[in-house]
Amino acid sequence: VSLLAVALVLLVSNEAAASCGQKKSVVQQFIANGYRAVAGSWPWHGAMFHRKGRDTTYACGVTVLTEQFVITAAHCTFDQMERQRLPAGRVFVRVGITNLDVSDRHVQQHSVDKIIRHEDYDELVYENDIALMKLLNEITYSSYVQPICLWHGDTSLSSIVNQMGYIVGWGLDEEYKLPSDLNQATVPIVSKKDCLDSDLAHYSRIYHEAKTFCAGYSNGTAAGPGDSGGGLFLRRGDHWFLRGIISNGKVDPNTLLIDSTSYAVFTDAAYYMDWIKKHVTITTSVSIDTDLVVVPPSSKTSEATQSNLLGLQSCGKDQYPMGTPEELKKALDQYPWLAVIEHINLNTRVLEDVCHGVLIHPKFILTAAHCVQRKRQSQLRSVRLNDYRLDTVTDIFVTDGKTTKTTSDRIAITGVSTHPNYNSPKFANNIALLMLAKPTTMTPICLPPKGFPLPTSGKLFSIIGWKKNNHQEKPLIRNVVQLADFETCRRKYLRANITLDGTGGQLCSLYNHDDDEDSCSHYMGSAPFQYVMNGPTEGRYYLAAISSFGHSNCRMDEYSDVFTNVEHYVDWIQEKVSQNE
């Protein structure tokens, strides 16, 4: 395939970019062969269109550098039929776009004021295939639109060979059709030798020492026609950086289209940093911390037991290589600790999905206290693990041509312990522990050990679970977010006569409430708020918090949602588990 297919929806907020290369919030809906990554997954990627008379045609990808500049390949600024340089008036760009056929409310269209092609661009051999476009009006940054970081540090090819780069675009698919939805894929960067050895006659003509590099699998996953001008992105710490610009590839003589089984050639943006900065003033700043944060182990066994509160040797294992962005992970078997709390309706005797629970021990589920309160017509009965779609009995996944069927596991609840100070003050200490009738074999999430500080600066967290809406389909949803400023959150809720816990028992975070263009909703109660901590050999998930409450109007995005801070209650959790283990 040209690129792995995904469709892209996200939280709208007028959010200035204090930094660069950061995804402000991402929500995803999982599907059979992976997931749909919604708008905001690649907020620096945009689309270039060419005008000819009354017709407009998608041409290439662009990458947002600043409010007024985007970067692309120089050949994208030519009329390919007439082989003439296009004037600025015949080009426009759209940012915040993920579907070429749908004009979402977060898409911004900008006319081009000036095209700055590299003065030594050679269209015959694609040398210096790089161009800047100055926009007529400034871009407004939001959760859908953010600038990329420019490369700094080591610019040698050897420093990135064998690393996985991320490419996105609307290139022609295997049926040579232009897809509507933005696609993404990972491609390994290869050495000059490997690139030239694959076809010396071809690549020796278009491979330019220090100015270009090659990437791809040579197996059909590569940049395709229509992907030109888009970026190749590498992640460093919590930031994404532009390293390459898709320039050209090998043409299949039978179709006269790019051969997706060959390497693609990228303009190395790192080589052109001085040229870029000569024309563009970069005001965003970034500091990179790539050090792993670990609890120092004395042995492999002690690493597992000391780095989590309950001393479990197996908890929170990340199934993906360390450093894999959360939004690129699939759902199957990734979050086995996620549970559904069930109440039984006393009139109909039907089980009802009420809240989330989080498996923290083979015999214990952590949830919100309000989720276990007996109601007039229903009461707590059981939990369900290993579920992915609430609207189906059997979940079916197809991965790499292999079909997997899963059925959830229901376990009765035999004990409940609600925090003694729940709802004092209102909504505070919203936490409870459930004891299962039998141990489960599902893997629990790790709990932070006592005194372990919650990561804050730039740390990305994920919220997973199911929404409270009337949609017939109930797929697992995920948001990738950051913590909100607690003091700002506290003051806003105070105006609504709600006093938040100032002793550390609560956290605040914004996430996207949109279900689609017309509706919005909150997660069911007690959705886990989690993060990955990387160790020497693998990553582990830790539970930071569980959702407690939010503003009743889910369109009130200025109100952060409030979460119960799990670390604040580790003594209480440890005591209850040890008493009943």
User: Could you give the CA distance from residue 115 to residue 106 in angstroms, rounded to a whole number?
Assistant: 25
Residue (of 446, 435, 442, 453) closest to 309 by Cα position: 446
pLDDT in tens, 458-483: 678 999 999 887 776 678 888 888 88
Q: Report the pLDDT value the prediction gives residue 464, as an integer from 0 to 100.
A: 93
Helix (H, G, I), strand (E, B) or coil at 340: strand
Cα-based distances in Å from 375 to 141, 370, 427, 428, 550: 45, 10, 17, 20, 21
- Express the helix, strand and coil content of the chain in percent, nearest 5 each: 15, 35, 50
Element (H, E) at 192: helix 192-198
Bigger pLDDT: 321 vs 113: 113
Half-sphere exposure of 296 (CA within 13 A, CB side): 0
According to CATH, the topology of domain 163-279 is: Thrombin, subunit H (2.40.10)
Q: Which CATH class is domain 39-135?
A: mainly beta
Domain boundaries 460-567, corresponding CATH code: 2.40.10.10
Domain 330-436 has CATH 2.60.40.1180: no
- Note the pLDDT of residue 305: 42
Burial of 550 (C-beta count, 10 Å sphere; 0-12/13-18/19+): buried
Beta strands in 461-567 (DSSP E): 461-465, 477-481, 506-509, 528-534, 539-549, 561-565
pTM, two decimals, is: 0.56
Domain ranges for the chain: 39-135, 163-279, 330-436, 460-567
Strand partners, 184: 4, 168
Query: Over the stretch 281-290, which tens digit does the pLDDT of each residue have?
Result: 887 655 443 3
Q: List the one residue out of 202, 199, 255 whose CA is nearest residue 225.
A: 255
Residue 190 is classified by DSSP as E
* Residue 436 token pair: 């299962």
Q: Which residues contact 157 (CB under 8 A, 6 or more apart)?
A: 189, 191, 192, 210, 213, 268
Contacts of 351 (CB under 8 A, 6+ apart): 342, 343, 344, 345, 381, 382
> pLDDT, tens digit, for every residue of 60-99?
999 999 999 999 999 999 987 877 899 999 999 999 988 8
pLDDT band at 126 (very low <50, low <70, confident <90, very high): very high
Is 47 in contact with 64 (CB distance < 8 Å)? no
Residue 412 class from Cβ within 10 Å (0-12 exposed, 13-18 middle, 19+ buried)? Answer: exposed
DSSP-assigned states of every residue in 271-291 = GGHHHHHHH------------
Measured in whole angstroms, how far is the alpha carbon of residue 167 from the centre of its chain? 14
471 within 8 A of 455, measured Cβ to Cβ: no
Give dist(CA 294, CA 317) in Å, integer: 14
Fold agreement (39-135, 163-279):
yes
pLDDT, tens digit, for every residue of 223-259? 445 578 999 999 887 789 999 999 988 766 665 455 6
Mean pLDDT of the chain: 81
